[in-house]
Amino acid sequence: MPHPLQPHRRYLLVLVAIYALLWTALAIAPVDRKDWALENALVLAFGLAMAASARHFVFSRISYSLIFLFLCLHAVGAHYTYSEVPYERAWQSLTGQSLNQQLGFSDRNHFDRAVHFAYGLLLAYPLRELFLRLAEVRGFWGYFLPLDFTLASSALFELFEWGAAEFFGGDLGVAYLGSQGDVWDAQKDMALAGAGALLAMLVTVALNLRLQRDFAREWADSLKVKDARPAGEDEIRRLLAQQESAR
């Protein structure tokens, strides 16, 4: 009898193979090799973490698909550098019109904005799956924590990006930072990631509200106080008392 997770692992291998082909093609002659290497450092760390945990934690095929789509977008951004992805040129060659103008955007290259939004939109659901299956969160917290983690990790990335730009400096620092002269770039990137995660969780709420019979009860239970005892200094006092009684 085949293992129940075998189809998921096969699906993952197919996605990895497709991504490897795309990544290899985009690794050839990137616009800025140093920036490409810096952009792919986090991808390498993420890939190693996924490979190390694959034996113990298998995502749903939906989650694997969403992660795959985000990594593909990132591979494109790393190849061209985020501020130089030629989506405008490609759109104009197809339609003869400016995509930025049609959407009411400025002349700035907005590919990095789109990927920050995609970070929240595409990765919030896999994060929810992690929280549900590892921390066993339920109800409200199963939707709030992916949004919270998205905003927190976006802030950490902006700090990392700032530190890397300061450390490397010069053209590499500017290319990696990709602010394109916008003093509110970091705040806008974080807001877009949060908006993407919020949209993903609202869609998930709508689906579960329709399909999950105990949705209201689970939501209400998740907001009930599980332990009426105060923590903080009271908990420290209890722990010290336990240590004394154990001696």
pLDDT at 205: 97
CB-count burial class (<10 Å; 0-12, 13-18, 19+) for 88 = middle
Q: Which is nearest to 219 in space by CA: 125, 135, 124, 142? A: 142
Do the beta carbons of residue 241 and residue 168 sit within 8 Å? no
Mean pLDDT, rounded, for 120-148: 96
Do the beta carbons of residue 91 and residue 98 sit within 8 Å? yes
d(C-alpha 161, C-alpha 166), whole Å = 9
What does the domain layout of the chain look like in residue ranges? 31-223
pLDDT at 169: 65
- Spell out where 35-158 has E strands: none
pLDDT at 106: 77
Q: Which is nearest to 176 in space by CA: 74, 41, 76, 36? A: 36
Size of the chain in residues: 247
d(C-alpha 114, C-alpha 88), whole Å = 13
Phi/psi at 227 (5° precision): -140, 110
DSSP classification of residue 24: H
d(C-alpha 124, C-alpha 118), whole Å = 10
Tokens representing 198? 């919020």
- Dihedral of CA 177/182/187/190: which sign? negative
pLDDT at 230: 87
Confidence class for position 107, pLDDT limits 50, 70, 90 = confident
**% of the chain with per-residue pLDDT over 90:** 55
Do the beta carbons of residue 19 and residue 76 sit within 8 Å? no
pLDDT at 200: 98
Q: Which amino acid is at 121?
A: L
pLDDT at 159: 85
Summarised one tens digit per residue, pLDDT across range 46-75 is 999 999 988 889 999 999 999 999 999 999
The backbone region for 62, taken as left when phi is positive above 0, alpha when psi lies in -120 to 50, beta otherwise, is alpha
Confidence class for position 114, pLDDT limits 50, 70, 90 = very high
Predicted confidence (pLDDT) at residue 198 exceeds the cutoff of 70:
yes
